[in-house]
Structure 1
Amino acid sequence: MDFAFDETQEDLRQAVRGFLADAASESETRRAMQTATGYDGAVWRRMGAELGLQGLAVPEEYGGAGAGPVEVGLVMEEMGRALLCAPFLSSSVLATTALVRGDDEGARAELLPGLVSGDRVATLALTEDSARWDREGVALTARPAGDGWLLDGHKTFVLDGAAADTIITVAQAPEGIGLFLVEAGADGLTRTALPTLDPTRRQARLEYREVAARRLRTAGDGWDLVAVVLRHGVAALAAEQVGVASRALDMAVEYAKVRHQFGRAIGSFQAVKHLLADVLLEVESARAAAYAALLALQEDEDVPAATSLAKAFCSEACLKATESNIQVHGGIGFTWEHPAHLYFKRAKTSQLLFGDPDRHRELLAQAIGV
């Protein structure tokens, strides 16, 4: 695998970083996380109109750029550095992948242009009270009703579930797992925002009581598509974790240079040097793991092993980097006014999203036949 980024990819990184320096500054992030939806709709639409970020992985015939997982990962990494409040993971990765990799041309033609422009937000609803990310965790039922389907049950921990316009719901149909399109205003659907540790990424609980839905056509078993979507989500999240960890390390290094104790910068103390050197090693190793997973997706090689390895390693590296950032900052790192706690909270919730490191080490062992 070639880990070098080409000129176009580096240009994309710099364009996104420049945009987020203004649109996702610390003050803007704190403002956005207090809004009803958890993000700034104007910034979200600008991301589509000015940079085309929501359409990166969408084929050109639907208004997208036709780029691959690596480009999506570059964008996610920069969003992690900025701690952007936006439904990019839920809408532009999970939901978009379900539509693009599914077998429903009508749904693609109907929904993808709106997702690309930023005028529509979608999400994937999979987990329930068991908090499982596998087939056995799906208990919500779907039954035929005329030309459509009716859904009964619940979903929880749904990313941006209270703000999404379209919810791609994973349900147990009579013949197996299926994916169903539900509109936000559907009768019988109740959406409740959940109190979460991380205020920069919203989650919701959804209750379905005979909710009308359309089935998303898939080639074969619906769970096969869900598994593909989850692998794309895992790899994209790993890249975001690299961005979070990288920014936390930068913050710690910058502070260690200017904070003086006993007449010298604390960064000159051996204990601080060793701590930051260890974090640097973790961050760079996590970056290699994340982009190996993204390349595996792009080249369709050893995908289950690469994505689970990335999720397990990047989750722990990100948490270590954000914890160390707080440690280097000392007392001020524990205050609400300092952003260190926001990065730590994103790291902790991301560690659990799509399954914790232990779960992904188990999946990795299964993938390589151990």
Structure 2
Amino acid sequence: MSPQPDLLHSEEEEALRAAVRDLLTDRCDPAGVIARTESATAHDVSLWKALSDSMGLAGLLIPEELGGQGASHRETAVVLEELGRAVAPVPYLTSAVVATEALLSCRADELLTELASATVIAVLAVGLHVAPGGDFGRVRVENGALHGELTGIADAAVADVLLVPADDGGLYAVGAAEVTVTPQVSLDLTRPVARVTLDGVSGRRLGDAEPAVRRALRAGAGLLASEQLGLADRLLTDTVRHLKERRQFNRQVGGFQALKHRLARLWLEVAGLRAAARNAADALATGADTDVAVAVAQAYAAQVAVHAAEEALQLHGGLGMTWEHPVHLYLKRAKADSIAYGAAGTHRQALAELVDLRAP
């Protein structure tokens, strides 16, 4: 019988949350994030350095003997929840989680050591939309060189190393300087995607692509729910604060019963997402019913995050429609996250198969 998941955070996890939130409060204000989306450098490299180098968060999932923190997915989920609250434009999910999991599967100790020391950013060259267990693009291997094109690769523009799956079944490490990275139009400007073109480049084979990609995408999908939780919880908090301060007809807008009902419904949805996200993180950490927990979290998370963003936009009134107000950042991130690592329908179908509730 599987042990009951622990959905409460420990004192150490709460201390980690406080430290990350303090850093983001100082270094990742909404006005700064909006300004970055208008510039040619969407990623905040200085913030990434502070998170990965100063706080050692890039190596949370990497064993201590390789220079990492040797922590679990629970601590990583705490970090992602706070990054979601700030819509932080850093490659944490793609490098410190997804690429790291692929490298752990391949036992690529040298690269893991570089990731832990924050000297390298790695990105798995699989489209952001691909679900765990789904079909992913592969490049051709011809005469020992890699040829092909991969699209929808999140954070490729800031990567130092790309982990590229090939048609010979291998996963190859390729230097970003050897490939052509072409930006693609993305709704979420805080997590840009790109097309990666390989034209006869060399790569170092790390291991088998299939199990590495499957493990990486499962961890990405499960911990993405924590990012979506942070986003939704921040939007709910900010919307409640705004409705307490905003007055209309000489009374608080939040005092109108219709708005109270909408906020109450949203609070229940966020509470449900909190349970699902923490359960997924705990399952990834313990290995208990992991596939089911990840599928449950992602089957539910997208609709809650998008609904929270839509309600925040509407309940902020005309203010919420302005570019200067950050709610549009959250709406775009929520919509982009809703198809990242598989849409909700894909995860529902996977869940039905896992618990043997297939459609007739």
TM-score range, shorter chain: over 0.9
Contact persistence 1:127–1:133 (CA under 8 A): no
Q: In the alignment, which of 268, 292, 299 is matched to residue 286 of structure 2?
A: 299
Displacement of 1:226:
1.2
Could you tell me which residue of structure 1 aligns to residue 300 of structure 2? 313
Displacement of 1:320:
0.5
Residue 150 to residue 339, structure 1, CA distance change in 2 (3 Å): same
Q: In the alignment, which of 139, 142, 162 is matched to residue 140 of structure 2?
A: 142
Are positions 1:45 and 2:32 aligned together? no
SS in 1 for 2:81: helix
Displacement of 1:235:
1.3
Q: In the alignment, which of 155, 165, 168 is matched to residue 170 of structure 1?
A: 165
Q: What whole-Å deviation, never above 9, does each CA across 1:160-214 have from its counterpart, x for those lacking one?
A: 11221100012221xxx3211111112xx22101121111111111112222111
Cα distance in 1 between the residues matched to 2:283 and 2:131: 21
TM-score where L is the length of structure 1: 0.91
Cα distance in 2 between the residues matched to 1:167 and 1:117: 17
Could you tell me which residue of structure 2 aligns to residue 92 of structure 1? 96
Could you tell me which residue of structure 1 aligns to residue 275 of structure 2? 288
Cα distance in 2 between the residues matched to 1:58 and 1:37: 28
Q: Which has the higher contact order (CA 8 A, sep 6+)?
A: 2
Q: What whole-Å deviation, never above 9, does each CA across 1:215-268 have from its counterpart, x for those lacking one?
A: 1124xxx31221111111011111000000001101110110011111111100
Cα distance in 1 between the residues matched to 2:136 and 2:54: 39
Letter of the aligned partner of 1:179 in structure 2? L
Could you tell me which residue of structure 2 aligns to residue 56 of structure 1? 60
Specify every segment of 5 or more residues in structure 1 that has no aligned partner in the other structure, as ranges: none
Contact persistence 1:308–1:361 (CA under 8 A): yes
Specify every segment of 5 or more residues in structure 2 that has no aligned partner in the other structure, as ranges: none
Q: What whole-Å deviation, never above 9, does each CA across 1:306-329 have from its counterpart, x for those lacking one?
A: 101101201110001111001111
TM-score where L is the length of structure 2: 0.94
Could you tell me which residue of structure 2 aligns to residue 210 of structure 1? 200
Could you tell me which residue of structure 2 aligns to residue 113 of structure 1? 113
Q: What whole-Å deviation, never above 9, does each CA across 1:331-366 have from its counterpart, x for those lacking one?
A: 211110111111000000000111111111011111
Contact persistence 2:187–2:336 (CA under 8 A): yes
SS in 2 for 1:196: coil
Contact persistence 1:231–1:307 (CA under 8 A): yes
| Equivalence map 1:210-289=2 (5 Å) | 210-218=200-208, 222-289=209-276
Residue 368 to residue 207, structure 1, CA distance change in 2 (3 Å): same
Displacement of 1:139:
4.5
Further displaced range: 66-75 or 301-310: 301-310
Cα distance in 1 between the residues matched to 2:352 and 2:133: 19
SS in 2 for 1:151: strand
Letter of the aligned partner of 1:153 in structure 2? G
The alignment covers a number of residue pairs equal to 353
Could you tell me which residue of structure 1 aligns to residue 22 of structure 2? 18
Displacement of 1:71:
0.4
Cα distance in 2 between the residues matched to 1:281 and 1:27: 30
Displacement of 1:132:
4.6
Could you tell me which residue of structure 2 aligns to residue 151 of structure 1? 146
Cα distance in 2 between the residues matched to 1:252 and 1:132: 32
Q: Percent identity?
A: 39
Displacement of 1:85:
0.7
Letter of the aligned partner of 2:139 in structure 1? T
Kindly report the root-mean-square deviation, in angstroms, between the aligned alpha carbons of the 2 structures. 1.7
Cα distance in 1 between the residues matched to 2:134 and 2:279: 29
